[in-house]
């Protein structure tokens, strides 16, 4: 997250109002540049213009802006801050948000706030105000790191866009992988970063190089994605923010079906199409790669007719490699669960779903007969519905496991907390990955 955010835009764009809420959301101080100028000059801005002229005002504005940029906070600037080349040069190294607005909306806002009208638009007609705005607009765009049209947005929506624009979400790339398709269901304005492998993506999140990470967690045909579930074991820093369930349709992609000798894809995709491969290409060599889309990219680059990939149709279209056979997965109900992981809260208000889950990693006490039965009983007598239980090795020594437990959240939350407390009283180690909304994408 940036330590200094500068808001620019014309009068009526909402800079002061947005700055106030943004500062509150991010727990950062706010700097109203015009007020700071008035404090420095001990004059109101209209009086500075009247007594000292615009040149003196711009000089003072540059001094105050330079001082403010050295501090942490949200800076709400005056509408004419970009008129000075000195100011524009100062803003080049800052993270600047241009609050744009439609001409008619801007004029209406200005005329509705006559008591705070600035000298530059005093006694101006609507058309003259629009003309001034259009003259300044190239300067606003020239310094902007982000532009938001505020015409039809609430203040909350503008603030949310600013916050999201500073967030980064990692995913298993390249572009048009199934992970990328899942990501598009939840990403608004965040910056996306692709990774070559799942462990690299999760490690970047744990090292705070990312704000969030989207990873595949389970497939309906092949079960859990071990690279994801195992990497999350025994860490207490990140939680599941949301789940996206995506239908997976695999395609055979290549140049000539008759010449195929090697098929490339992610191990999960190869396993999902095992029956098709055995029937049509029983002697083909299967080569696992980091992602389905990476397989298509390699074929596109090599243009070797003896190679084929298994991946989604979006990857075939993106890399312009023909689809030789469609929907070759072993089951038409092939779906993959993806988790968005993060250390901080992700706004999931756009996910229109009422379904929620809770995921726990549970390690049983050693040498405790009936421990698993007691764990299940803690959920059963509270009428808490388990939708998944799976054991995974702790990777310490043979015979030591932890359990992955998914629960449907349809009961009062206190019951789930009480169940966790009961498990801990039994001597279990409980890693709570959090409650999260579940979105099914058709």
What are the structure tokens assigned to 220, written together?
């309906």
Peptide bond into 174 cis (omega under 30): yes
- The whole-angstrom separation of Cα 68 and Cα 57 is 16
Catalytically annotated residue among 195, 338, 379, 403: 338
- 149 - beta bridge partners? 100
Report whether 15 belongs to an annotated binding site.
yes
Catalytically annotated residue among 336, 363, 379, 403: 336
Q: What residues contact 191, with CB distance under 8 A and at least 6 apart? A: 165, 167, 168, 169
Per the annotation, the verdict on 336 as an active-site residue is yes
Per the annotation, the verdict on 338 as an active-site residue is yes
Q: What residues contact 208, with CB distance under 8 A and at least 6 apart? A: 343
Report whether 124 belongs to an annotated binding site.
no
Report whether 17 belongs to an annotated binding site.
yes
Report whether 254 belongs to an annotated binding site.
no
Name the DSSP class of 256: -
Q: What residues contact 405, with CB distance under 8 A and at least 6 apart? A: 359, 360, 361, 362, 386, 388, 389
Report whether 14 belongs to an annotated binding site.
yes
Q: What residues contact 317, with CB distance under 8 A and at least 6 apart? A: 176
Report whether 16 belongs to an annotated binding site.
yes
Q: Which of 112, 105, 107, 77 is nearest to 91 (CA)?
A: 77
Q: Do residues 376 and 382 touch, judged by C-beta distance below 8 A? A: no
Q: Do residues 165 and 189 touch, judged by C-beta distance below 8 A? A: yes
Name the DSSP class of 442: -
Report whether 343 belongs to an annotated binding site.
no
Q: Do residues 432 and 232 touch, judged by C-beta distance below 8 A? A: no
- Sequence ranges of the binding site: 12-17, 34, 58, 79, 118, 136
Which residues contribute to the annotated binding site for ATP? 12-17, 118
Annotated binding site for Mg(2+): 16
Active-site amino acid positions:
336, 338
């Amino acid at each position: 997250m940036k330590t200094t955010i500068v808001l620019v835009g014309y009068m009526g764009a909402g800079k002061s109002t947005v700055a106030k809420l943004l500062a509150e959301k991010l727990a950062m101080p706010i700097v109203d540049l015009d007020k700071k100028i008035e404090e420095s000059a001990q004059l109101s801005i209209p009086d500075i213009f009247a007594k000292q002229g615009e040149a003196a005002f711009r000089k003072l504005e540059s001094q105050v802006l330079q001082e403010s940029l050295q501090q942490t906070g949200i800076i709400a600037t005056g509408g004419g801050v970009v008129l000075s080349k000195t100011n524009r040069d100062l803003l080049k190294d800052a993270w600047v948000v241009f609050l744009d607005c439609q001409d008619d909306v801007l004029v209406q806002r200005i005329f509705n706030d006559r008591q705070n009208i600035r000298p530059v638009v005093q006694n101006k007609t609507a058309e003259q105000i629009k003309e001034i705005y259009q003259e300044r607009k190239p300067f606003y765009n020239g310094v902007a790191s982000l532009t938001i049209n505020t015409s039809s947005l609430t203040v909350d929506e503008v603030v949310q866009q600013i916050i999201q624009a500073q967030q980064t979400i990692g995913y298993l790339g390249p572009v048009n992988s199934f992970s990328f398709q899942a990501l598009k269901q939840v990403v608004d304005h965040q910056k996306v970063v692709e990774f070559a492998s799942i462990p690299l993506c999760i490690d970047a999140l744990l090292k705070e190089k990312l704000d969030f990470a989207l990873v595949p967690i389970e497939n309906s045909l092949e079960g859990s994605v071990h690279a994801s579930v195992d990497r999350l074991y025994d860490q207490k820093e990140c939680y599941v923010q949301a789940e996206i369930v995506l239908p997976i349709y695999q395609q055979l992609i290549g140049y000539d079906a008759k010449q195929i000798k090697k098929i490339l894809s992610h191990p999960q995709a190869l396993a999902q199409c095992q029956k098709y491969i055995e029937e049509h290409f029983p002697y083909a060599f299967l080569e696992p790669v980091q992602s389905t889309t990476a397989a298509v990219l390699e074929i596109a680059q090599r243009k070797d007719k003896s190679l084929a990939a298994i991946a989604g149709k979006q990857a075939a279209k993106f890399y312009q490699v023909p689809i030789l056979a469609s929907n070759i997965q072993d089951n038409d109900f092939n779906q993959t669960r993806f988790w968005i992981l993060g250390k901080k809260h992700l706004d999931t208000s756009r996910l229109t779903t009422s379904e929620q889950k809770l995921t726990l990693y549970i390690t049983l006490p050693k040498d405790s007969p009936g421990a698993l039965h007691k764990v299940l009983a803690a959920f059963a007598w509270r009428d808490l519905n388990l939708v998944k239980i799976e054991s995974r090795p702790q990777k310490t020594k043979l015979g030591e496991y932890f359990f992955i437990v998914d629960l449907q959240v349809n009961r009062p939350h206190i019951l789930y907390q009480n169940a966790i407390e009961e498990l801990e009283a039994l001597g279990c180690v409980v890693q709570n990955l959090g409650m999260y909304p579940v979105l099914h994408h058709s």
